[in-house]
Amino acid sequence: ETHKTARALLNKYPDMENLAKGLEGLQYLAGQKGFEKPADDAPQSVKDAFSAKMRELIGVPAKAEDYGITKPDKMPEGMTWDEESAKGFAELALKNNMSKEQVKAAIEFQTQLVSKQMEAYAVQQAKQLDEARATLRQTYGSDLNKAIAKAQGAAEWLGRGQKNEDGSFNID
């Protein structure tokens, strides 16, 4: 009866090698000051236990699927949802011990960033189109409509031309 606790502890280990590893881990933990990261030379079992506790404390799910990543309600116009990329990000997040809250914040940030980039791209494209129109007007002046008609004819000849409903072609 007096050694009941010791017997219970010893029965956890199937052989002397595992008992020695367990005692090594206990000795290491006994020398630590509270909950801190194990040293590089700490037994692997101690490192694994520390890692598991940290994941639990910060809320890292057990599997990548447990992040519950779904298509955001507000997708930037022109942006499409890629399920494979979402799965890949969830796996990356799990590997890097990200909490669900961190993953949610990262997705929201990325969605906002892409939205801003797409808006900037649309502004850039509109500016380039305006510049191209101005260059054509400057180059052809009053002959612009004739040049457009020739270009339209060439495009039609190649089978690619498209006319407006009234048969004209307009760059505005």
Sign of CA dihedral 102, 108, 114, 120: negative
133-149 burial, b at 16+ Cβ within 10 Å, e below that, comes to eeeeeeeeeeeeeeebe
The pLDDT of residue 20 is above 70:
yes
The pLDDT of residue 67 is above 90:
yes
Give the pLDDT score at 157.
66
Between the alpha carbon of residue 104 and those of residues 29, 37, 80, the distances in Å are 35, 27, 18
Residues of the chain with pLDDT > 70: what percent?
87
pLDDT 10s digits, 121-139 = 999 999 999 999 899 989 9
**Residue 135: what are its φ and ψ, rounded to 5°?**
-65, -45
Q: What are the strands, taking DSSP E only, across the chain?
A: none
Average pLDDT, the chain: 84
pLDDT 10s digits, 84-118 = 999 999 999 999 999 999 999 999 898 889 889 98
